[in-house]
Structure 1
Amino acid sequence: MFNFGAREVGIDLGTANTLFVLQNQGIVLREPSMVAVDGGSDEMIAAGTEAFEMNGRTPVGIRVSCPIHWGVIADQEAAMRMMSRFLKELSQKVGSLKRKIFVISVPVGITTVEKRAILEAAEQVGARETLTIEEPLAAAIGARMPVWEPEGMMVVDIGGGSTEMAVISSNGIAVSQSLKTAGHAMDRKIAEYILKTHSLKIGMRTAEHLKIRLGTAYGAEGEKRLETLRVGGSDLLAGHPKIIEITARDIEGALAESVTGIINGVKRTLEITPPELAADLCDRGIVLTGGGSLLHGLDKKLAAEIGVPVTLADHPMDCVALGTEKALHDLDSLRQPSW
């Protein structure tokens, strides 16, 4: 049962998906961060799931795009339209959202210009006040990590556009780093690999499907190693559609560079972590969140390379949104420079 009087709205404004939460009510809306625009009239004709279904299948004159790149607004006009559409859909469920307080998760190290774009977009869709929380901290809170304790703990949030990693202590981020190697970059690597090895051009949705079904970071055990998928695309040599079989080994090779990039990012973050906090990680380990953390064997690969325990959070795709919801209970802390 929704609380129609809720004053605060939490938003996980992600490159791949946008999630809305209400205080004590969890996730109330989840939509792909995509828009479809008529190139002639510049009118937005679809957003969210409807735009996602159109991606790669649009007629001439219709373009589908993601207005959020690497966790920040790349196209402010499209982002504002997209948020307006989502908020209209949400208001049909929970009542008017005018003059609400928005809490939006943002990448670590966001620039002043990038943050201003988010604040202005929120203001244009009716927010009375907009506060932000850094994604790694929100992810850690959503993963039920004891972030308030004066001990070091590390979270690695692998989203669609960026990988956010941070060492957290006493409710704040001590050390952090952001990488552009994440879920969408993995999809591109798969498409590039298949183009190079099979001369077959595939779409990003197909590449993502292969990542989910066959992707692995640490070797596929048992029968999974033998699993194959039939994939269709455009044969660049013959000039006609073609179907081939792709194996888990193919996808493992395609993703090797991305996996190495994330591991090296974690290593660089640990190198600049204060010794006392680094020592805490020997026991507490590293927690993985975000959709990209679901890559088969990534936790085992990272643990083997780093030498500390690595665990996958419960509901990793929702951790940032759930952490943002919990932050709605303490808006005064969000108004402080530490958050």
Structure 2
Amino acid sequence: MLDTIAAEVPTLSLADQASDPDGFAQAFGKSFQRFGFAIVADHGIPHGLIDSAWRETEALFALPEEEKRRYCVAGGGGARGYTPFKTEIAKDAKHVDLKEFWHIGRDLPAGHRFAEQMAPNIWPDRPEGFKPTFLDLFSAFDTAGDKLLSAIARYLGLEANWFDQAVRDGNSVLRLLHYPPIPADAEGVRAGAHEDINLITLLLGAEEAGLELLDRDSGRWLAIRPPEGAMVVNVGDMLQRLTNHVLPSTTHRVVNPPPERRGHSRYSMPFFLHPAPDFLIETLPGTINADNPNRYPTPITAHDYLHERLVEIGLVKK
């Protein structure tokens, strides 16, 4: 087992939001403010749907490499479909990440105003249950994300529905991640130290050891160990920027497993919750004061910010 000390990130129940929305918001917001992370149980995504998603994910990545690469879009920045092993690299890292992944985005109707910024989905010929499973899972993540954004709004002193307009038709992405077995002399790690780009990330599959956060108070790497079935949620850079670092985007990584687990694959499913492409990321007035002056006096659209960051991590060329 990895012997990294566990972070004392609290496990909260999203079911509590219905009876005590302010209490849940305070607990959730304080965890975000301290760690940049929270663990959320009772998130409402059906267990049966999650089980189906794991089966479909394993079947997808078990396909022959040549078949998977048919779904890799040259010049697409990995926005949809397949991204091969050793493609993505964390900002300022020396080695590429030891992972492959598949992206699913929001299905938009024909002629939608965001059609140019949000590519259509790519669906594999097999496994057969892939498309219906992940359309349902995307919708379930969307619902859970809306509830968590409502809690964040309350914590910041905003109206509970403040984020609704921001994320309507948002450019969110569901990533299916496969970290293959690795040799003992592998260069790099499964996912190098990084921060996420989006508003918040909702992650399933963190029960397998490896996910760690960099604690700002101690400067130490701490393991994140959620209970079985719970969701790990973290702040992304867009939310950090919006809140003038009141809610910090915390550096995290996925380290390589101990020798006895190196022959095993690791799977996870992060949902990167993004605002709509035209959402203006402009510092919230309530987060600016004498002790915390505005770090970002020049606003930027979510689309432009995303493009800048995708260039940094090697998914989009300048």
Name the larger-Rg structure. 1
Normalised to the residue count of structure 2, the TM-score between the two structures is 0.24
The answer to which structure has the higher strand fraction is 1
Query: Quick one: higher RCO (CA 8 Å, sep 6+), 1 or 2?
Result: 2
TM-score (norm 1): 0.23
Higher helix residue share: 1
